[in-house]
Amino acid sequence: MADTREERFMRMTLELAIENVKSGKGGPFAAIVVRGDEVIASGTNQVTTTNDPTAHAEVSAIRAACARLDSFQLSGCEVYTSCEPCPMCLGALYWARPDHIYFCATRDDAAASGFDDSFIYDEVVREFGKRNIATNRILPGEASRPFDAWEIKEDKIRY
């Protein structure tokens, strides 16, 4: 049976992930942003070669696609990623708001290969006082000051 359109795009994504490992650019992850039949942008994991812990495949693909489309939103787009997004990348996807997400490997596959995805999913739902990175809330009485400035800003651009 011939590949579906979505399977073709995912195969392309998997090849990018494999090539990323072989070339030594970073971890075994890739993502592409597609609109209709066009690949708008791609991204691969380049954490260690760029010294940027946020340079995951999805974040990189989102940033590149938004730069190309001159927009901070990916409405009308699909994102293909070789692995279920980690919480950082899932959050980035929610802020970018594409129409559809397709993934291949799972967070457990990533964990089995030594990546923290599954651990971070567990941490995100914990109360902040019980997390693995020590976290404290301070100066709560002043928390509203930036939001107050935002409320009265007349020409603000919401996102």
Cβ atoms 65, 74 nearer than 8 A: yes
* Minimum CB–partner distance for residue 12 and a copy of itself (Å): 11
Q: Can you tell me the distance from the alpha carbon of 85 to that of 76, in angstroms, rounded to the nearest whole number?
A: 19
**Is 123 a residue that touches a copy of itself (CB under 8 A)?**
yes
**Is 143 a residue that touches a copy of itself (CB under 8 A)?**
yes
Cβ atoms 19, 87 nearer than 8 A: no
Give Cα 105 to chain centroid, integer Å. Answer: 15
**Is 11 a residue that touches a copy of itself (CB under 8 A)?**
yes
**Is 53 a residue that touches a copy of itself (CB under 8 A)?**
yes
Closest to 135 (Cα-Cα) out of 118, 150, 123, 152: 123
Closest to 26 (Cα-Cα) out of 48, 10, 1, 58: 48
Q: Which two tokens stand for residue 152?
A: 């009265």
Q: Which of 2, 39, 66, 129 binds a copy of itself (CB under 8 A)?
A: 66
* Minimum CB–partner distance for residue 18 and a copy of itself (Å): 5
Return the residues of window 84-103 that contact a copy of itself according to CB under 8 A.
84, 86-103
Closest to a copy of itself by CB, 32 or 96: 96
* Minimum CB–partner distance for residue 33 and a copy of itself (Å): 12
Which residues are known catalytic residues? Answer: 58
